[in-house]
């Protein structure tokens, strides 16, 4: 097995172990439920309270994970969360992040409550990128995922937004949810500026695979249409 395949299989095996707990998958693995799968070194899940977090922690410990005390240093979010890591080969790890009660974006201070995330989630099929496996588990909806990614707006988020835009269902709801937390046009302008940058397309294709000219243009136009009028 290649390293990426080993990592993905480990995360799938872990999700199988914990999927019946009261959780919602967000982040990169949620993106994989809606568009071409991409590699992700970690898996982010949201829970409503510490009690559920402790139950999942117990399962993770049985699977060989340990709590990462340094996790708050490099995380893109702040607030209450726990990161659990497992070394599956020498210097090669996977991690599971448990976000408790809410997700708070470090850059914008935007908040997404666990209630909002659970209300905007449903059971979906999650397929692997390098392994021929699939799971059914609770995943954040594509519209809510788009909102979170558009507000956070890191390079990885922008690539995800670009791929998700053709899958979204309710543009008016998305506009409102972004506006309630941050400046919509600021976020869209930042996304478009990154899309127009010299290396964006190469970076996108390095993660998701080839994107032809017609698809690239279409996705970009759809993002521009989200701007406030």
Instruction: Specify the CATH number for the domain of residue 16.
Output: 3.30.460
DSSP codes, 111-130: EEEHHHHHHTEEEEEEE-SS
Q: Is residue 87 part of a domain?
A: yes
CA distance 193 to 184: 14
Each residue of 167-208: pLDDT tens digit?
999 999 999 999 999 999 999 999 999 999 999 999 999 988
Per-residue confidence (pLDDT) for residue 33, from 0 to 100: 92
Q: Is the dihedral of CA 159, 27, 122, 150 positive or negative?
A: negative
Each residue of 113-128: pLDDT tens digit?
999 999 999 999 998 8
- Domain end, chosen from 84, 111, 140, is at 140
Domain that includes residue 199, residue range: 153-229
Q: Do 115 and 106 touch, CB atoms closer than 8 A?
A: no
Residue 132 and residue 55 share a domain: yes
Whole-number Cα distances in Å, 129 to 38, 166, 167:
6, 20, 19
Q: Is residue 86 part of a domain?
A: yes
Per-residue confidence (pLDDT) for residue 180, from 0 to 100: 97
- Domain end, chosen from 84, 107, 140, is at 140
Q: Is residue 145 part of a domain?
A: no
Per-residue confidence (pLDDT) for residue 82, from 0 to 100: 93
Residue 132 and residue 21 share a domain: yes
Residue 12 and residue 56 share a domain: yes
Per-residue confidence (pLDDT) for residue 76, from 0 to 100: 65
Dihedral, CA atoms, 16, 20, 22, 28, nearest 10 degrees?
20
Per-residue confidence (pLDDT) for residue 1, from 0 to 100: 59
Q: Do 86 and 7 touch, CB atoms closer than 8 A?
A: no
Place of tokens 């970690």: 42
Residue 221 and residue 164 share a domain: yes
Global pTM value: 0.93
Per-residue confidence (pLDDT) for residue 22, from 0 to 100: 98
Q: Is residue 10 part of a domain?
A: yes
pLDDT < 50 regions, the chain = 73
Residue 175 and residue 96 share a domain: no
Tell me how many domains the chain contains: 2
């Amino acid at each position: 097995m290649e390293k990426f395949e080993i990592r993905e299989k480990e995360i799938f095996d872990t999700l199988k172990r914990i999927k019946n707990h009261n959780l919602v998958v967000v982040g990169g693995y949620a993106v994989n439920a809606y568009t071409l799968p991409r590699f992700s070194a970690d898996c982010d899940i949201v829970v409503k309270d510490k009690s559920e977090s402790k139950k999942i922690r117990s399962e993770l410990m049985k699977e060989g994970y340990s709590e990462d005390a340094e996790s708050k240093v490099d995380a893109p979010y702040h607030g209450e969360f726990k990161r659990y890591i497992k070394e599956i080969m020498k210097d090669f790890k996977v991690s599971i992040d448990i976000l408790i009660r809410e997700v708070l974006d470090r850059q914008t201070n935007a908040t997404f409550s666990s209630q909002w995330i659970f209300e905007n989630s449903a059971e979906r099929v999650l397929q692997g990128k390098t392994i021929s496996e699939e799971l059914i588990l609770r995943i954040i909806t594509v519209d809510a995922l788009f909102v979170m990614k558009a507000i956070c707006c890191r390079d990885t988020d922008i690539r995800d937004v670009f791929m998700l835009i053709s899958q979204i269902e309710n543009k008016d709801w998305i506009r409102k949810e972004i506006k309630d937390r941050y400046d919509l046009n600021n976020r869209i302008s930042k996304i478009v500026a990154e899309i127009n940058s010299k290396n964006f397309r190469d970076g996108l294709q390095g993660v998701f695979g080839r994107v032809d000219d017609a698809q690239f243009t279409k996705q970009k136009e759809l993002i521009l249409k989200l701007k406030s009028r």
